[in-house]
Amino acid sequence: MLDRDRIYLGGTWVPSAGRGTLAVVDPTSEEVLATVPDGVAADVDRAVDAARDAAAAWSSTPPEQRGACLARIADGLERRRPELARLVARELGMPLAQSDAVQVGMAVTSFASMAPVAELLPAEEHVGHSMVAYEPVGVVGAITPWNFPLQQVAVKVAAALAAGCTVVLKPSEVVPLNAFLLGEIIDEVIDEAGLVPGAFNLVSGTGPVVGEAIAAHPGIDMVSFTGSTRAGVRVSELAAPSVKRVALELGGKSPNVVLDDADLDQAVPLGLASAFANAGQACSAQSRMLVPRPLLPVVEELAVRAAEAYAPGDPFAETTRMGPLVSSVQRDRVRAYITKGIEEGAKLLTGGPEPPDGLDTGYFVRPTVFSEVTTDMTIAQEEIFGPVLSIMAYEDEEEALALANDTVYGLSAGVWSADVERALGVARRIRSGHVSINGSAFDQLAPFGGRKRSGIGRENGRFGVEEFLEVKTLQL
Distance (Å, whole) CA 448 – CA 440: 14
Nearest in space to 381 (alpha carbons), one of 409, 402, 353, 401 = 409
| DSSP line for 102-158 | IIIHHHHHHHHHTS-HHHHSPPPEEETTEEEEEEE--EEEEE--SSSHHHHHHHHHH
Residue 143's CB is within 10 A of a number of other CB atoms, namely 25
Name the DSSP letter for residue 242.
G
Beta-carbon contacts of 213 under 8 Å, excluding residues fewer than 6 positions away, are 40, 41, 44, 45
CB 167 within 8 A of CB 136: no
At a CB cut-off of 8 Å and minimum separation 6, what does 409 contact? 229, 251, 252, 253, 254, 383, 432, 450, 452, 453, 454
DSSP string, 250-304: -----EEEE-TTS-HHHHHHHHHHHHHGGGG--TT---EEEEEGGGHHHHHHHHH
How far apart are alpha carbons 422 and 402 in whole angstroms?
A: 17
Helices (H) and strands (E) in the chain, counts: 17, 22
Beta carbons within 10 angstroms of residue 81's beta carbon: 15
- Is residue 281 within 8 Å of 149, Cβ to Cβ? no
Residue 319: CB atoms within 10 A of its CB come to 8
Q: Which of 468, 470, 443 is nearest to 159 (CA)?
A: 468
Q: Where is 229: in which H helix or E strand?
A: helix 229-239
**Contact criterion met (CB below 8 Å) for 436 and 252:** no
Residues labelled as active-site residues: 249, 283
Pairwise CA distance, residues 116 & 132, whole Å: 22
472 residue type, one letter: K
Q: DSSP H helical segments within 277-419, as ranges?
A: 296-307, 328-343, 378-381, 397-404
Give 199's contacts (C-beta < 8 A, 6+ positions apart).
51, 54, 58, 161, 166, 167
